[in-house]
Amino acid sequence: MTGAAAPGGPGAPRGTGAVCLDVGSTWTKAVLVHPDGGLAGFAEHRTTTGDVLEGVDAALRGVTAAAAREPEPAVLACSSAGGGLRLAVVGTEKLISVEAGHRVARSAGSHVVHVHAGPLEPADVRVLRGHRPGAVLLVGGADGDDPSVLLHNAGKLARARVRFPIVLAGNAEARDDALALLRATGRTVVACANVAPAPGELVPGPARAALAEVFAQHVLGGRAPAAAPRFRRMVRFMTPDAVCRGTAELARICGTRVLVVDVGCATTDVHSARPGRRVRRTVEGDLGVRAAAEGVLLEAQTEEIVDPVEADLLSATVRGMTAEIGSVPRDPGSAAEDRRIAALAAVVAARRHLRDADPDPEDPAAGPARAAGAEADPGPVGLVVLSGGVFRQRDAAGLGAVVGTLQQDPVLAPLLASASVLVDADFALAPAGLLAAHGRCHAAEALLRDHLLGSR
């Protein structure tokens, strides 16, 4: 099927079934949904590198075989194939650059892989390229400081053989000059307010919002020349957008505040919404059960969720997860380790999401968030949904342990005291979001009621 037109398409008649396709960073999942919302089939395939469409076509062939005698289904697709965004930071002072990078990357789908402080030299540029960043955060100096290092670094990046986008968040007085240097050689630049406008002050909001824009372009993936045109025609949403829409549908159906924690291989996303309110989303690029497993263990220790003994026991497991991102559990012990890392990722991500639920009134990014009607209420949650491939393991006791980890967490417990916790074991949430986004709201609601909410 590679190179051929996809079955159906977003414009196919709504009376036909639909294949809801989610191209993840490690696995590509496809479900066939009848017009009435009934599930008719499921298939998955390893997400293929090079030409992502090879894995897409294999998943489509697998799931559409179940509908051989039915009208050709539409294909509704979302993607997070790009995974978390690798961020390099270039600044003037080491401690400020490190802290700024981590503060900006948090909840914007990114994780810091390299920090350079001081004037860039040719060897430094080679080291930076060797870390394979997907974006660079260029900072330097408080407003009014000597801009020479910032301008030097902008010039070096402008002349370097690099293609990644640059988020420029340095000295306000030098911003226009730095921007001109970078754009003169065709660099992609997103400029924003200084992340460190005064000594001892960090304001990550504007740079985080700019980085989130870069992440939204990166996460879709499918950029190989052979795949890109058809992939862009097929994929209309990034996966967090589809899950956002599914979260909104859940809040509407249940009439309560909903919190969705979607644990993937490379990122962990948290979505929260009340009925009639816009969904608030955070994407953690350092938390996942494969490529970002090391970040889970590090942050779980920082948050004092695991003690040193458990951290030592899990360290070998985490190294294996990171080295073999496409691995699947081969025995009950491996499956239990997967669930434990997923539970820790869920707790850390939910803590971050709820901790930041009431934006700082001094943060320039807070105003637009409120104006857009995003969820900013840290009050009790009525329903929690755990989503992600690791939760499709049919092990009631094991999943019960994951649920218990969230409910018993001392930080989350007060907010989740009255919440029901459900597991998206049938892979219903993202498909429901895709269906609703394409006007198939009846099918989306039926899918959620039958395959997630049950008798609730």
pLDDT in tens, 252-287: 999 999 999 999 999 999 999 999 999 999 999 999
Contact between residue 322 and residue 287 where contact means Cβ atoms under 8 Å apart: no
**CA 209, CA 242: separation in Å to the nearest integer?**
20
**From its phi and psi, is residue 107 left (phi > 0), alpha (psi between -120 and 50) or beta?**
left
3-state secondary structure of 108: strand
Contact between residue 106 and residue 352 where contact means Cβ atoms under 8 Å apart: yes
pTM beyond cutoff 0.85: yes
Rounded average pLDDT over 291-314: 95
Share of the chain above pLDDT 90, in %: 79
Can you give the C-alpha Rg of the chain in angstroms? 22
What is the predicted pLDDT for the residue at 328? 85
Which pLDDT band holds residue 56 (cuts at 50, 70, 90)? very high
Other beta carbons within 10 angstroms of residue 333's beta carbon come to 10
Which pLDDT band holds residue 222 (cuts at 50, 70, 90)? confident
Taking the CA atoms of residue 150, residue 152, residue 153 and residue 155 in that order, the dihedral angle to the nearest 10 degrees is: 120
Q: Does the structure show a pLDDT above 60 at 410?
A: yes
CA atoms within 13 A on the CB side of 332: 6
What is the predicted pLDDT for the residue at 370? 33
Residue whose C-alpha is closest to residue 350's, from 385, 394, 315:
385
Top-ranked range on mean pLDDT: pick from 4-18, 152-166, 327-341: 152-166
Rounded average pLDDT over 169-182: 96
What is the predicted pLDDT for the residue at 329? 87
Taking the CA atoms of residue 208, residue 102, residue 100 and residue 210 in that order, the dihedral angle to the nearest 10 degrees is: -20
Q: Does the structure show a pLDDT above 70 at 5?
A: no
Higher pLDDT, 326 or 363: 326
Which pLDDT band holds residue 13 (cuts at 50, 70, 90)? low
Q: How many helices (H) and strands (E) does the chain have?
A: 16, 15
What is the predicted pLDDT for the residue at 357? 55
Q: Does the structure show a pLDDT above 80 at 371?
A: no
Q: For the packed helices 293-302 and 308-323, what is the interaxial angle rounded to 10 degrees?
A: 160
Q: Does the structure show a pLDDT above 80 at 438?
A: yes
What is the predicted pLDDT for the residue at 309? 95
Contact between residue 157 and residue 183 where contact means Cβ atoms under 8 Å apart: no
Rounded average pLDDT over 309-324: 92
3-state secondary structure of 238: strand
Cα–Cα distances in angstroms (integers) from residue 182 to residues 28, 124, 205, 214, in the given order = 37, 18, 23, 17
Q: Does the structure show a pLDDT above 80 at 361?
A: no
Contact between residue 226 and residue 56 where contact means Cβ atoms under 8 Å apart: no
Q: Does the structure show a pLDDT above 70 at 9?
A: no
